[in-house]
Chain A
Protein backbone atom coordinates (compact mmCIF):
# COMPACT_ATOMS: atom_id res chain seq x y z
CA UNK A 1 0.00 0.00 0.00
CA UNK A 2 2.83 2.35 0.81
CA UNK A 3 4.52 1.41 -2.41
CA UNK A 4 1.35 2.13 -4.37
CA UNK A 5 1.02 5.49 -2.63
CA UNK A 6 4.61 6.27 -3.33
CA UNK A 7 4.27 5.41 -6.97
CA UNK A 8 0.99 7.34 -7.10
CA UNK A 9 2.68 10.40 -5.61
CA UNK A 10 5.60 9.90 -7.93
CA UNK A 11 3.18 9.62 -10.81
CA UNK A 12 1.42 12.84 -9.73
CA UNK A 13 4.76 14.61 -9.22
CA UNK A 14 6.01 13.88 -12.67
CA UNK A 15 3.64 16.25 -14.50
CA UNK A 16 4.28 18.98 -11.90
CA UNK A 17 8.02 19.01 -12.20
CA UNK A 18 8.15 17.81 -15.74
CA UNK A 19 9.44 21.03 -17.17
CA UNK A 20 11.97 21.70 -14.48
CA UNK A 21 14.89 20.51 -16.48
CA UNK A 22 13.95 22.91 -19.27
CA UNK A 23 14.21 25.99 -17.12
CA UNK A 24 17.43 27.84 -17.40
CA UNK A 25 18.39 31.27 -16.23
CA UNK A 26 19.77 33.38 -19.00
CA UNK A 27 22.88 35.32 -18.32
CA UNK A 28 21.48 38.78 -18.95
CA UNK A 29 18.95 38.59 -16.09
CA UNK A 30 20.80 39.73 -12.97
CA UNK A 31 20.04 37.47 -10.10
CA UNK A 32 20.50 39.15 -6.84
CA UNK A 33 18.91 39.40 -3.44
CA UNK A 34 19.18 37.92 0.02
CA UNK A 35 18.86 34.25 0.72
CA UNK A 36 18.26 34.80 4.42
CA UNK A 37 14.91 33.76 5.82
CA UNK A 38 13.10 36.98 6.67
CA UNK A 39 12.10 36.07 10.22
CA UNK A 40 13.87 38.81 12.08
CA UNK A 41 13.34 41.47 9.51
CA UNK A 42 10.24 42.85 11.19
CA UNK A 43 11.85 43.29 14.62
CA UNK A 44 13.88 46.39 13.80
CA UNK A 45 10.63 47.92 12.61
CA UNK A 46 8.93 46.85 15.85
CA UNK A 47 11.59 48.33 18.08
CA UNK A 48 11.48 51.48 16.10
CA UNK A 49 7.73 51.71 16.53
CA UNK A 50 7.74 51.07 20.31
CA UNK A 51 10.25 53.87 20.60
CA UNK A 52 7.95 56.07 18.64
CA UNK A 53 4.66 55.11 20.24
CA UNK A 54 2.84 57.44 22.58
CA UNK A 55 3.75 57.13 26.26
CA UNK A 56 0.20 56.12 27.07
CA UNK A 57 0.61 52.92 25.04
CA UNK A 58 3.78 51.98 26.83
CA UNK A 59 2.28 52.54 30.24
CA UNK A 60 -0.95 50.78 29.39
CA UNK A 61 0.91 47.75 28.11
CA UNK A 62 2.84 47.41 31.35
CA UNK A 63 -0.25 48.07 33.43
CA UNK A 64 -2.17 45.44 31.54
CA UNK A 65 0.62 42.91 32.15
CA UNK A 66 0.58 43.71 35.87
CA UNK A 67 -3.22 43.54 35.96
CA UNK A 68 -3.22 40.20 34.19
CA UNK A 69 -0.84 38.84 36.80
CA UNK A 70 -3.08 40.11 39.60
CA UNK A 71 -5.93 38.14 38.08
CA UNK A 72 -3.74 35.07 37.87
CA UNK A 73 -2.93 35.37 41.58
CA UNK A 74 -6.55 35.76 42.61
CA UNK A 75 -7.58 32.73 40.57
CA UNK A 76 -4.48 30.57 40.72
CA UNK A 77 -4.48 28.11 37.88
CA UNK A 78 -1.34 26.66 36.43
CA UNK A 79 -0.50 29.50 34.14
CA UNK A 80 2.98 30.44 33.11
CA UNK A 81 2.31 34.17 32.84
CA UNK A 82 3.73 34.86 36.27
CA UNK A 83 6.73 32.69 35.72
CA UNK A 84 7.71 33.35 32.13
CA UNK A 85 7.12 37.10 31.88
CA UNK A 86 8.15 38.06 35.34
CA UNK A 87 8.21 41.67 36.38
CA UNK A 88 8.75 43.36 39.70
CA UNK A 89 6.39 46.32 39.28
CA UNK A 90 3.49 44.53 40.88
CA UNK A 91 5.46 43.40 43.95
CA UNK A 92 6.85 46.91 44.38
CA UNK A 93 3.42 48.52 44.27
CA UNK A 94 1.99 45.93 46.67
CA UNK A 95 4.90 46.18 49.07
CA UNK A 96 4.83 49.98 49.17
CA UNK A 97 1.08 50.13 49.70
CA UNK A 98 1.18 47.45 52.40
CA UNK A 99 4.06 49.18 54.19
CA UNK A 100 2.27 52.54 54.00
CA UNK A 101 -0.86 51.07 55.51
CA UNK A 102 0.99 49.12 58.19
CA UNK A 103 3.22 51.77 59.61
CA UNK A 104 2.35 52.72 63.12
CA UNK A 105 3.12 55.87 65.09
CA UNK A 106 5.94 58.30 64.55
CA UNK A 107 9.49 57.32 65.40
CA UNK A 108 9.74 59.64 68.36
CA UNK A 109 6.59 58.54 70.13
CA UNK A 110 7.33 57.34 73.61
CA UNK A 111 5.54 54.03 73.14
CA UNK A 112 7.14 51.23 71.23
CA UNK A 113 4.72 51.38 68.36
CA UNK A 114 4.05 49.30 65.33
CA UNK A 115 6.47 48.57 62.53
CA UNK A 116 7.86 51.48 60.62
CA UNK A 117 7.68 51.71 56.83
CA UNK A 118 11.30 50.63 56.46
CA UNK A 119 10.83 47.63 58.71
CA UNK A 120 7.89 46.27 56.72
CA UNK A 121 9.61 46.97 53.42
CA UNK A 122 12.79 45.21 54.54
CA UNK A 123 10.89 42.26 55.97
CA UNK A 124 9.01 41.68 52.73
CA UNK A 125 11.93 42.04 50.35
CA UNK A 126 14.55 40.41 52.55
CA UNK A 127 12.15 37.59 53.37
CA UNK A 128 11.42 37.01 49.67
CA UNK A 129 15.15 36.99 48.84
CA UNK A 130 15.91 34.52 51.64
CA UNK A 131 13.11 32.20 50.56
CA UNK A 132 14.31 32.32 46.95
CA UNK A 133 17.87 31.55 48.02
CA UNK A 134 16.57 28.71 50.16
CA UNK A 135 14.66 27.13 47.29
CA UNK A 136 17.61 27.50 44.95
CA UNK A 137 20.01 25.99 47.48
CA UNK A 138 17.70 23.02 47.93
CA UNK A 139 17.93 22.37 44.21
CA UNK A 140 15.01 24.25 42.72
CA UNK A 141 14.99 24.98 39.02
CA UNK A 142 13.25 28.32 39.15
CA UNK A 143 15.21 31.45 38.46
CA UNK A 144 15.88 34.10 41.10
CA UNK A 145 13.65 36.85 39.74
CA UNK A 146 10.83 34.50 38.79
CA UNK A 147 10.62 33.37 42.38
CA UNK A 148 10.75 36.96 43.68
CA UNK A 149 7.99 37.85 41.23
CA UNK A 150 5.71 35.04 42.40
CA UNK A 151 6.29 35.73 46.10
CA UNK A 152 5.71 39.44 45.60
CA UNK A 153 2.52 39.03 43.60
CA UNK A 154 1.09 36.58 46.13
CA UNK A 155 1.15 39.35 48.74
CA UNK A 156 -1.93 40.72 46.93
CA UNK A 157 -4.53 38.85 49.03
CA UNK A 158 -2.86 40.11 52.20
CA UNK A 159 -2.93 43.69 50.90
CA UNK A 160 -6.64 43.28 50.29
CA UNK A 161 -6.96 41.94 53.86
CA UNK A 162 -5.13 45.02 55.14
CA UNK A 163 -7.57 47.31 53.34
CA UNK A 164 -10.51 45.41 54.79
CA UNK A 165 -8.98 45.53 58.28
CA UNK A 166 -8.49 49.27 58.09
CA UNK A 167 -12.09 49.78 57.01
CA UNK A 168 -13.35 47.50 59.79
CA UNK A 169 -11.23 49.37 62.32
CA UNK A 170 -12.83 52.62 61.21
CA UNK A 171 -16.16 51.17 62.24
CA UNK A 172 -15.02 50.11 65.69
CA UNK A 173 -12.39 48.11 67.54
CA UNK A 174 -14.32 45.75 69.76
CA UNK A 175 -14.48 41.98 69.90
CA UNK A 176 -16.76 41.69 66.88
CA UNK A 177 -14.41 43.67 64.69
CA UNK A 178 -11.53 41.53 65.94
CA UNK A 179 -13.33 38.34 64.98
CA UNK A 180 -14.15 39.72 61.55
CA UNK A 181 -10.56 40.78 61.04
CA UNK A 182 -9.29 37.41 62.23
CA UNK A 183 -11.46 35.53 59.77
CA UNK A 184 -10.55 37.80 56.86
CA UNK A 185 -6.82 37.66 57.60
CA UNK A 186 -6.82 33.88 58.04
CA UNK A 187 -8.67 33.39 54.76
CA UNK A 188 -6.33 35.69 52.87
CA UNK A 189 -3.26 34.07 54.45
CA UNK A 190 -4.44 30.65 53.30
CA UNK A 191 -5.12 32.08 49.84
CA UNK A 192 -1.64 33.63 49.58
CA UNK A 193 0.11 30.48 50.70
CA UNK A 194 -1.90 28.24 48.39
CA UNK A 195 -1.42 30.56 45.41
CA UNK A 196 2.34 30.76 45.81
CA UNK A 197 2.54 27.02 46.43
CA UNK A 198 0.60 26.38 43.23
CA UNK A 199 3.12 28.41 41.26
CA UNK A 200 6.33 27.39 42.97
CA UNK A 201 5.88 23.77 43.98
CA UNK A 202 6.44 22.28 40.55
CA UNK A 203 9.96 23.57 40.21
CA UNK A 204 11.23 21.87 43.36
CA UNK A 205 12.71 18.39 43.70
CA UNK A 206 9.97 16.05 44.92
CA UNK A 207 11.64 14.99 48.18
CA UNK A 208 12.04 18.52 49.38
CA UNK A 209 8.73 20.19 48.63
CA UNK A 210 7.84 20.53 52.31
CA UNK A 211 11.25 22.04 53.04
CA UNK A 212 10.57 24.73 50.46
CA UNK A 213 6.95 25.39 51.38
CA UNK A 214 7.53 25.83 55.11
CA UNK A 215 9.51 29.11 54.76
CA UNK A 216 6.81 30.48 52.44
CA UNK A 217 4.24 29.59 55.09
CA UNK A 218 6.33 31.34 57.76
CA UNK A 219 6.76 34.43 55.57
CA UNK A 220 3.05 34.93 54.95
CA UNK A 221 2.28 34.05 58.56
CA UNK A 222 4.51 36.87 59.80
CA UNK A 223 2.92 39.36 57.38
CA UNK A 224 -0.55 38.19 58.44
CA UNK A 225 0.41 38.64 62.07
CA UNK A 226 1.53 42.20 61.41
CA UNK A 227 -1.78 42.89 59.65
CA UNK A 228 -3.87 41.32 62.38
CA UNK A 229 -2.18 43.15 65.23
CA UNK A 230 -2.38 46.51 63.52
CA UNK A 231 -4.08 49.11 65.68
CA UNK A 232 -4.83 52.59 64.46
CA UNK A 233 -2.84 55.19 66.37
Chain B
Protein backbone atom coordinates (compact mmCIF):
# COMPACT_ATOMS: atom_id res chain seq x y z
CA UNK B 1 0.00 0.00 0.00
CA UNK B 2 1.35 3.39 -0.82
CA UNK B 3 0.80 4.84 2.63
CA UNK B 4 2.86 2.13 4.31
CA UNK B 5 5.64 2.57 1.76
CA UNK B 6 5.70 6.27 2.44
CA UNK B 7 6.02 5.65 6.16
CA UNK B 8 8.84 3.13 5.73
CA UNK B 9 12.28 4.41 6.76
CA UNK B 10 14.56 5.04 3.78
CA UNK B 11 18.08 3.74 4.11
CA UNK B 12 20.65 6.20 2.87
CA UNK B 13 23.68 3.99 3.21
CA UNK B 14 24.31 3.45 -0.48
CA UNK B 15 25.62 6.94 -0.90
CA UNK B 16 27.91 5.80 -3.67
CA UNK B 17 24.92 4.70 -5.71
CA UNK B 18 23.21 8.01 -5.13
CA UNK B 19 26.34 9.84 -6.16
CA UNK B 20 26.72 7.71 -9.26
CA UNK B 21 23.17 8.53 -10.21
CA UNK B 22 23.57 12.22 -9.52
CA UNK B 23 27.27 13.13 -9.88
CA UNK B 24 26.74 16.83 -9.44
CA UNK B 25 25.11 16.58 -6.07
CA UNK B 26 26.87 18.49 -3.31
CA UNK B 27 28.63 16.29 -0.81
CA UNK B 28 29.95 17.09 2.63
CA UNK B 29 32.86 15.21 4.07
CA UNK B 30 33.77 15.49 7.72
CA UNK B 31 37.32 14.83 8.81
CA UNK B 32 39.74 16.01 11.44
CA UNK B 33 41.52 19.24 10.51
CA UNK B 34 44.49 19.08 12.80
CA UNK B 35 44.73 15.82 14.64
CA UNK B 36 46.36 13.64 12.02
CA UNK B 37 47.32 10.32 13.56
CA UNK B 38 48.76 8.93 10.38
CA UNK B 39 51.91 11.00 10.74
CA UNK B 40 53.26 9.44 13.88
CA UNK B 41 53.85 5.77 13.46
CA UNK B 42 57.36 5.16 14.52
CA UNK B 43 56.48 2.88 17.35
CA UNK B 44 54.11 0.08 17.94
CA UNK B 45 51.14 0.65 15.63
CA UNK B 46 50.92 -1.53 12.58
CA UNK B 47 48.88 -0.72 9.51
CA UNK B 48 45.98 -2.85 10.64
CA UNK B 49 45.49 -0.59 13.61
CA UNK B 50 45.96 2.66 11.72
CA UNK B 51 42.43 2.69 10.42
CA UNK B 52 41.11 1.77 13.82
CA UNK B 53 43.06 4.62 15.34
CA UNK B 54 41.80 7.00 12.70
CA UNK B 55 38.24 5.98 13.42
CA UNK B 56 38.81 5.94 17.15
CA UNK B 57 40.47 9.32 16.96
CA UNK B 58 37.48 10.74 15.13
CA UNK B 59 35.06 9.17 17.53
CA UNK B 60 37.02 10.25 20.56
CA UNK B 61 37.30 13.82 19.38
CA UNK B 62 33.60 13.85 18.58
CA UNK B 63 32.86 12.47 21.98
CA UNK B 64 35.26 14.93 23.49
CA UNK B 65 33.42 17.83 21.95
CA UNK B 66 30.08 16.50 23.08
CA UNK B 67 31.11 15.37 26.52
CA UNK B 68 33.50 18.18 27.28
CA UNK B 69 31.27 19.39 30.00
CA UNK B 70 30.61 15.97 31.43
CA UNK B 71 34.02 14.43 31.25
CA UNK B 72 35.26 14.65 34.78
CA UNK B 73 32.05 13.77 36.49
CA UNK B 74 33.39 10.96 38.68
CA UNK B 75 33.82 12.01 42.30
CA UNK B 76 37.40 12.77 43.22
CA UNK B 77 37.79 9.91 45.68
CA UNK B 78 37.30 7.24 42.99
CA UNK B 79 40.03 5.85 40.78
CA UNK B 80 38.07 6.65 37.61
CA UNK B 81 38.40 10.37 38.30
CA UNK B 82 42.17 10.15 38.01
CA UNK B 83 41.94 7.89 34.99
CA UNK B 84 40.40 10.76 33.06
CA UNK B 85 43.71 12.59 33.33
CA UNK B 86 45.55 9.76 31.59
CA UNK B 87 43.18 9.36 28.68
CA UNK B 88 45.80 9.71 25.96
CA UNK B 89 47.21 7.40 23.34
CA UNK B 90 50.80 7.05 22.23
CA UNK B 91 50.38 9.13 19.10
CA UNK B 92 48.70 11.94 21.04
CA UNK B 93 51.60 12.19 23.47
CA UNK B 94 54.08 12.13 20.61
CA UNK B 95 52.11 14.84 18.79
CA UNK B 96 52.14 17.05 21.85
CA UNK B 97 55.86 16.59 22.33
CA UNK B 98 56.47 17.36 18.68
CA UNK B 99 54.32 20.46 19.01
CA UNK B 100 56.37 21.63 21.96
CA UNK B 101 59.72 21.19 20.24
CA UNK B 102 58.67 22.73 16.93
CA UNK B 103 56.23 25.46 17.86
CA UNK B 104 53.97 26.43 15.00
CA UNK B 105 54.06 30.21 14.78
CA UNK B 106 50.72 31.82 15.31
CA UNK B 107 48.97 28.67 16.45
CA UNK B 108 47.79 28.13 19.97
CA UNK B 109 49.28 24.98 21.50
CA UNK B 110 46.35 24.46 23.80
CA UNK B 111 43.76 24.73 21.12
CA UNK B 112 45.77 22.75 18.61
CA UNK B 113 46.90 19.78 20.62
CA UNK B 114 45.24 19.67 23.97
CA UNK B 115 41.68 20.40 22.86
CA UNK B 116 40.09 20.01 26.28
CA UNK B 117 41.84 16.71 26.96
CA UNK B 118 44.72 17.74 29.21
CA UNK B 119 46.73 14.83 30.46
CA UNK B 120 49.04 14.38 33.37
CA UNK B 121 51.10 11.61 31.80
CA UNK B 122 53.27 13.98 29.75
CA UNK B 123 54.13 16.48 32.50
CA UNK B 124 54.84 13.80 35.09
CA UNK B 125 57.11 11.59 33.03
CA UNK B 126 58.84 14.46 31.26
CA UNK B 127 59.72 15.89 34.67
CA UNK B 128 60.94 12.49 35.88
CA UNK B 129 63.09 12.03 32.79
CA UNK B 130 64.44 15.54 33.16
CA UNK B 131 65.42 14.93 36.79
CA UNK B 132 67.44 11.86 35.90
CA UNK B 133 68.85 13.42 32.73
CA UNK B 134 70.15 16.39 34.72
CA UNK B 135 71.59 14.20 37.48
CA UNK B 136 73.28 11.80 35.08
CA UNK B 137 74.67 14.43 32.74
CA UNK B 138 75.88 16.47 35.70
CA UNK B 139 77.77 13.43 36.92
CA UNK B 140 79.15 12.69 33.49
CA UNK B 141 80.31 16.23 32.80
CA UNK B 142 82.04 16.30 36.16
CA UNK B 143 83.74 13.05 35.28
CA UNK B 144 84.93 14.27 31.89
CA UNK B 145 86.26 17.53 33.28
CA UNK B 146 88.43 15.68 35.74
CA UNK B 147 89.34 12.85 33.41
CA UNK B 148 93.02 12.09 33.39
CA UNK B 149 93.79 13.64 36.74
CA UNK B 150 95.24 10.90 38.91
CA UNK B 151 94.01 12.38 42.16
CA UNK B 152 90.38 12.44 41.14
CA UNK B 153 88.20 9.87 42.81
CA UNK B 154 84.87 9.59 41.07
CA UNK B 155 81.87 9.72 43.34
CA UNK B 156 78.32 9.46 42.08
CA UNK B 157 76.77 12.46 43.75
CA UNK B 158 73.44 11.07 44.65
CA UNK B 159 72.17 14.00 46.68
CA UNK B 160 71.90 15.96 43.46
CA UNK B 161 69.07 13.72 42.35
CA UNK B 162 66.94 14.72 45.33
CA UNK B 163 67.65 18.41 44.85
CA UNK B 164 66.94 18.24 41.11
CA UNK B 165 63.71 16.33 41.70
CA UNK B 166 62.40 18.82 44.23
CA UNK B 167 63.26 21.81 42.06
CA UNK B 168 61.81 20.49 38.85
CA UNK B 169 58.59 19.16 40.28
CA UNK B 170 58.08 22.37 42.26
CA UNK B 171 58.58 24.39 39.08
CA UNK B 172 56.17 22.22 37.11
CA UNK B 173 53.42 22.52 39.71
CA UNK B 174 53.83 25.75 41.65
CA UNK B 175 54.41 28.11 38.73
CA UNK B 176 51.24 26.90 36.92
CA UNK B 177 49.40 27.30 40.19
CA UNK B 178 50.59 30.89 40.46
CA UNK B 179 49.72 31.59 36.83
CA UNK B 180 46.29 30.06 37.21
CA UNK B 181 45.61 32.08 40.33
CA UNK B 182 46.73 35.20 38.51
CA UNK B 183 44.46 34.44 35.55
CA UNK B 184 41.52 33.81 37.88
CA UNK B 185 42.13 37.14 39.56
CA UNK B 186 42.39 38.89 36.20
CA UNK B 187 39.15 37.19 35.14
CA UNK B 188 37.33 38.74 38.03
CA UNK B 189 38.55 42.18 36.97
CA UNK B 190 38.42 42.00 33.18
CA UNK B 191 35.60 39.90 31.84
CA UNK B 192 36.74 39.32 28.29
CA UNK B 193 39.88 37.38 28.96
CA UNK B 194 40.46 33.80 27.93
CA UNK B 195 40.86 31.45 30.85
CA UNK B 196 42.50 28.08 30.92
CA UNK B 197 41.88 25.38 33.44
CA UNK B 198 44.63 24.53 35.90
CA UNK B 199 45.31 21.21 34.23
CA UNK B 200 45.77 22.79 30.84
CA UNK B 201 48.37 25.16 32.27
CA UNK B 202 50.16 22.26 33.99
CA UNK B 203 50.05 20.37 30.71
CA UNK B 204 51.60 23.25 28.76
CA UNK B 205 54.36 23.73 31.32
CA UNK B 206 55.08 20.04 31.47
CA UNK B 207 55.42 19.63 27.74
CA UNK B 208 57.47 22.81 27.47
CA UNK B 209 60.09 21.18 29.71
CA UNK B 210 60.73 18.49 27.13
CA UNK B 211 63.22 20.61 25.19
CA UNK B 212 65.47 20.67 28.27
CA UNK B 213 66.04 16.93 28.13
CA UNK B 214 68.25 16.91 25.03
CA UNK B 215 69.78 20.16 26.29
CA UNK B 216 70.76 18.46 29.53
CA UNK B 217 72.28 15.55 27.65
CA UNK B 218 74.21 17.84 25.33
CA UNK B 219 75.53 19.77 28.31
CA UNK B 220 78.05 17.01 28.83
CA UNK B 221 80.15 18.78 26.23
CA UNK B 222 82.49 20.85 28.39
CA UNK B 223 82.72 23.84 26.06
CA UNK B 224 81.34 27.05 27.55
CA UNK B 225 80.27 28.55 24.21
CA UNK B 226 78.32 25.42 23.26
CA UNK B 227 76.61 25.40 26.63
CA UNK B 228 75.52 29.03 26.41
CA UNK B 229 74.18 28.55 22.88
CA UNK B 230 72.26 25.46 24.00
CA UNK B 231 70.75 27.23 26.99
CA UNK B 232 69.64 30.23 24.94
CA UNK B 233 68.13 27.99 22.28
CA UNK B 234 66.24 25.92 24.83
CA UNK B 235 65.00 29.00 26.65
CA UNK B 236 63.68 30.51 23.43
CA UNK B 237 61.89 27.38 22.29
CA UNK B 238 60.43 26.61 25.66
CA UNK B 239 59.37 30.19 26.29
CA UNK B 240 57.81 30.50 22.88
CA UNK B 241 55.90 27.33 23.46
CA UNK B 242 54.54 28.60 26.74
CA UNK B 243 53.78 32.04 25.38
CA UNK B 244 51.71 30.86 22.44
CA UNK B 245 48.50 30.22 24.35
CA UNK B 246 48.94 33.24 26.58
CA UNK B 247 46.93 36.38 25.96
CA UNK B 248 48.98 39.43 25.19
CA UNK B 249 49.23 40.65 28.73
CA UNK B 250 50.74 37.45 30.09
CA UNK B 251 53.05 36.71 27.24
CA UNK B 252 56.11 38.04 28.98
CA UNK B 253 55.26 35.98 32.03
CA UNK B 254 55.00 32.88 29.88
CA UNK B 255 58.33 33.50 28.22
CA UNK B 256 60.20 34.26 31.40
CA UNK B 257 58.74 31.52 33.55
Contact A112 B158 (CB under 8 A): yes
Chain A interface: which size bin? 20 to 34
One of B83, B129, B136 near A225 (C-beta < 8 A) = B136
A134-B121, A211-B121 in contact; A114/B129 too (CB < 8 A)? no
Query: Which residues of chain B in 85-105 are interfacial with respect to chain A, using CB atoms and an 8 Å cutoff?
Result: 85-86, 88-91, 93
Give the residues in chain A near B91, CB-CB below 8 Å: 207
A113-B155, A229-B139 in contact; A215/B125 too (CB < 8 A)? yes
One of B83, B129, B155 near A137 (C-beta < 8 A) = B83
Give the residues in chain A near B158, CB-CB below 8 Å: 104, 112-116, 119
Query: Which residues of chain B in 53-76 are interfacial with respect to chain A, using CB atoms and an 8 Å cutoff?
Result: 53, 56
Chain B interface: which size bin? 20 to 34
Interface string of A124-141 (1 = CB under 8 A from B): 000000000010111100
In the complex, how many angstroms separate the beta carbon of A153 from the nearest chain B beta carbon? 23
Query: Which residues of chain B in 146-205 are interfacial with respect to chain A, using CB atoms and an 8 Å cutoff?
Result: 153-160
In the complex, how many angstroms separate the beta carbon of B222 from the nearest chain A beta carbon? 18
Alpha-carbon distance A114/B154, docked complex (angstroms): 10
- Secondary structure type dominating chain B contacts: helix
Give the residues in chain A near B90, CB-CB below 8 Å: 207-211
B132 close to chain A: CB less than 8 A? yes
One of A136, A207, A211, A230 near B53 (C-beta < 8 A) = A207
Contact A230 B156 (CB under 8 A): yes
Give the residues in chain A near B45, CB-CB below 8 Å: 207
A145 close to chain B: CB less than 8 A? no
In the complex, how many angstroms separate the beta carbon of A32 from the nearest chain B beta carbon? 52
Contact B156 A209 (CB under 8 A): no
Contact B159 A112 (CB under 8 A): yes
B43 close to chain A: CB less than 8 A? yes
Contact A137 B157 (CB under 8 A): no
A134-B121, A229-B139 in contact; A211/B155 too (CB < 8 A)? no
- Secondary structure type dominating chain A contacts: helix
Contact B83 A139 (CB under 8 A): yes
Alpha-carbon distance A119/B86, docked complex (angstroms): 29
Which of B45, B82, B129, B156 neighbours the largest number of chain A CB atoms within 10 Å of its CB?
B156
Alpha-carbon distance A139/B82, docked complex (angstroms): 11
A206 close to chain B: CB less than 8 A? yes
Question: CB-nearest residue of chain A relative to B131?
Answer: A222
Give the residues in chain A near B136, CB-CB below 8 Å: 225
Interface string of B125-153 (1 = CB under 8 A from A): 10011001000100100000000000001
Instruction: In the A-B complex, list the 9 residue pairs whose CB atoms are closest, starting with the nearest.
Output: A207-B89, A137-B86, A229-B156, A115-B158, A210-B90, A112-B157, A210-B43, A138-B86, A209-B44
Using CB atoms and an 8 Å cutoff, list the residues of chain A in contact with chain B.
104, 111-116, 119, 134, 136-139, 206-211, 214-215, 218, 221-222, 225-226, 229-231
